[in-house]
Amino acid sequence: MTSGEPDVSTRTELITPEPAEALAGMLDLDPPAGEGDLPALWHWVYLLERRRQSDLGPDGHPTDGIPAPPGPGRLRMFAGGRVTLHTPLRFGEPATRTTRVVHTAEKDGRSGRLTFVTVRSDIEQGGRLAIGDEQDIVYRAPGSTLPQDPAPGASAPGACDLSLDVDSVLLFRFSALTYNAHRIHYDAAYAAQEGYPGLVIHGPLQALMMGELIRRSGVSAVGQEFAYRLVAPMFGEQRMRVATENGERGISARVTDAAGRLTATSTLR
């Protein structure tokens, strides 16, 4: 069930095992027990907006809603975010997600005019806040060059604690699981129109794999903030490599592509 005013979106649904089973299948894992808790970050396949086809623009994203594109033709990119897990979501109980825009900023970068939008979702279950989730979205003008991190950290392939073989089928499945119709992830011809040399590997998929590495290491995310940043796009069919290390600010993880190019970082603190 979805409701809300233009600047606030609210959705309530039962947390059932089936979406988690689907995500586990995509990751080649056994599904979590249906009477237990949802693993950290797996809430990204729940409480999704399911818009009408007529609401979508040429890029596959809705032309209005939260967030709404700041202007016609602006190209959307995922920049990072922060997830605070107060308590895991439980299967078999309803949860409510409330979403709003909490910050917008305009900047002139080397790649042209950029609009940064932060969207916050609060997920409640059993009358208390379970998850606080902020996502940073960037919009750029058509024809602008891709913004790059000042020091993306290109290097030879290094340590790898967890890997995922990414191909067009997996990208399609993750798009379907997260109800993300952005064509850069499954339509190579359209991805080229946006200036990408191949299909773009989802930012949330990279964040999810960093979270999975921490989770599979036996570290609990409950009561902590998982902050992640996409520092450079990852393209094409290849093996995603994830490694972790202990830093001064907490447990850190990073993602590199098959050539050893740093594409994402995270910290659990």
27, 164 contact by CB (below 8 A): yes
Q: Identify the CATH number of the domain in which residue 36 sits.
A: 3.10.129.10
State residue 86's pLDDT score.
Answer: 97
Residue 59 confidence (pLDDT): 94
User: What local confidence, expressed as pLDDT, does residue 209 receive?
Assistant: 97
Q: Which domain holds residue 55?
A: 2-268
| Side chain identity at residue 48, one-letter code | L
What pLDDT score was predicted for residue 155?
Answer: 52
d(CA 232, CA 83) in angstroms, rounded, equals 20
- Rounded Cα–Cα distance for residues 11 and 260 (Å): 40
Residue-by-residue pLDDT tens, the chain, 269 positions: 555 456 899 999 999 999 999 999 999 999 988 778 999 999 999 999 999 999 999 999 999 999 888 888 899 999 999 999 999 999 999 999 999 999 999 988 776 789 999 999 999 999 999 999 999 999 998 877 666 554 455 454 556 799 999 999 999 999 999 999 999 999 999 999 999 999 999 999 999 999 999 999 899 999 999 999 999 999 999 999 999 876 677 789 999 999 999 999 999 99
Number of domains in the chain: 1
Of 90, 10, 89, the closest CA to residue 49 belongs to: 10
What's the pLDDT at 142? 82
Task: Report how far residue 240's alpha carbon sits from residue 228's, in angstroms, rounded to the nearest whole number.
Answer: 16
What whole-number distance in Å separates Cα of residue 43 and Cα of residue 205? 13
Q: What's the pLDDT at 152?
A: 53
